[in-house]
């Protein structure tokens, strides 16, 4: 039987702070396939997340189909807005929500990984990060700083990940990021520069696939996922409407769930996808293929 086998692989999933989003679902799928899992979590959310784990509040969510429970080798503090600790403004360093976490920059997390697992102890990196302080504003009303903040965390950090983590990878290493259709099409209400950030993320996926593929032999892909009403996505005021609209108009009328994205991620991270790189892989029940909304049920083509 042809299967996905990630035994002996170590994955880092950046951007997990609860059990509701795509990042957590991907972690479970990779763990189910045999990989060991490390997380990178935003420092202000890290304490709450670890308390939930310690108090057993996530016991059910951690359960794998095999009956085993997913565990995390390490949970590192990470603020992907900063490449090094020298980049962190003084007011952030002095913020109590960041105190006690040490070096929470991208390079700081890389240093900790190297200390814990050696200079080449990584196989898979998942970029499940997105942030736009002005996401509820139309793009035309977004400030320069709001736009740059969205691009910096949601897109540029993936470039920094490849630059920093690719040299730490075993042969066959691969990167995966999460995008959304707003990088290709206008989605009213998805503002604050997030649409621009997703477009940049997808363009960078293609360029990085070439550059990093030739330099380090790693693969770079992205998944363009359908909308999901996670806690993080609740910042987009119309997320429930987006979910309903997708379900009503996608070629497949089935329910879309994070596990759909997770299964695609496991495939892309596996040797089965050894020749797949530079790809934006749509996992959205086919909605991206549609050019017109389905207005009436009686317009559905018959099987005749």
Residue 159 has a pLDDT of 98
Decide if pLDDT at 153 tops 90. Answer: yes
Decide if pLDDT at 235 tops 80. Answer: no
Decide if pLDDT at 297 tops 80. Answer: no
Residue 304 has a pLDDT of 47
Residue 300 has a pLDDT of 53
Decide if pLDDT at 178 tops 60. Answer: yes
Output the average pLDDT for the chain: 93
Dist CA 102 CA 56 (whole Å)? 26
In 10 A of CB 296, how many CB atoms?
6
In 10 A of CB 92, how many CB atoms?
15
Counting DSSP H helices and E strands in the chain, the numbers are 10, 7
What are the residues facing 11 on neighbouring strands?
37, 124
Dist CA 21 CA 15 (whole Å)? 9
Answer whether 220's CB lies under 8 Å from 212's CB: yes
Edge to edge, the sheet with strand 219-225 lists: 74-77, 36-41, 10-14, 122-127, 169-179, 219-225, 280-283
Per-residue pLDDT tens for 65-109? 999 999 999 999 999 999 999 999 999 999 999 999 999 999 999
Which of 1-10, 181-190, 226-235, 265-274 has the highest average model confidence (pLDDT)?
A: 265-274
Dist CA 183 CA 202 (whole Å)? 7
Cα 36 to its chain centre, rounded Å, is 17
Q: Which homologous superfamily does the CATH classification assign to the domain defined by 10-288? A: NAD(P)-binding Rossmann-like Domain (3.40.50.720)
Residue 244 has a pLDDT of 86
Catalytic residues, by residue number, are: 180, 190
Residue 234 has a pLDDT of 58
The three-class DSSP label of residue 21 is: coil
Residue 14 has a pLDDT of 98
Extended beta strands in the chain, E state? 10-14, 36-41, 74-77, 122-127, 169-179, 219-225, 280-283
In 10 A of CB 95, how many CB atoms?
13
């Amino acid at each position: 039987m042809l299967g996905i086998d990630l035994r002996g692989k170590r994955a880092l999933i950046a951007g997990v702070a609860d059990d509701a989003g795509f990042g957590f679902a991907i972690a479970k799928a990779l763990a189910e396939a045999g990989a060991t899992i490390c997380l990178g979590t935003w420092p202000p959310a890290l304490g709450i997340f670890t308390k939930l784990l310690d108090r057993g509040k996530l016991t059910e969510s951690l359960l794998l189909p095999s009956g085993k429970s997913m565990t995390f080798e390490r949970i590192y503090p990470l603020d992907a807005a900063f490449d090094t600790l020298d980049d962190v403004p003084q007011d952030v360093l002095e913020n109590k929500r960041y105190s006690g976490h040490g070096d929470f920059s991208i390079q700081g997390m890389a240093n900790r990984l190297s200390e814990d697992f050696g200079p080449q102890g990584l196989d898979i990196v998942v970029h499940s990060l997105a942030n736009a302080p002005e996401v509820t504003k139309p793009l035309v009303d977004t400030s320069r700083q709001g736009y740059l903040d969205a691009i910096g965390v949601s897109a540029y950090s993936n470039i920094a990940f490849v630059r920093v983590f690719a040299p730490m990878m075993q042969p066959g290493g691969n990167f995966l990021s999460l995008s959304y259709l707003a990088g290709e099409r206008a989605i009213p209400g998805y503002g604050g520069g997030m649409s621009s950030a997703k477009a940049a993320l997808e363009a960078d996926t293609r360029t990085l696939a070439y550059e990093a593929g030739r330099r380090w032999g790693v693969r770079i892909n992205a998944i363009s996922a359908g909308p999901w009403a996670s806690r993080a996505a609740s910042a987009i005021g119309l997320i429930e409407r987006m979910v309903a609209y997708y379900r009503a108009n996608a070629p497949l009328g089935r329910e879309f769930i994070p596990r759909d994205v997770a299964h695609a991620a496991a495939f892309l991270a596996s040797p089965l996808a050894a020749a797949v790189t530079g790809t934006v892989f749509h996992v959205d029940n086919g909605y991206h293929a549609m050019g017109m909304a389905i207005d009436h049920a009686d317009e559905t083509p018959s099987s005749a």
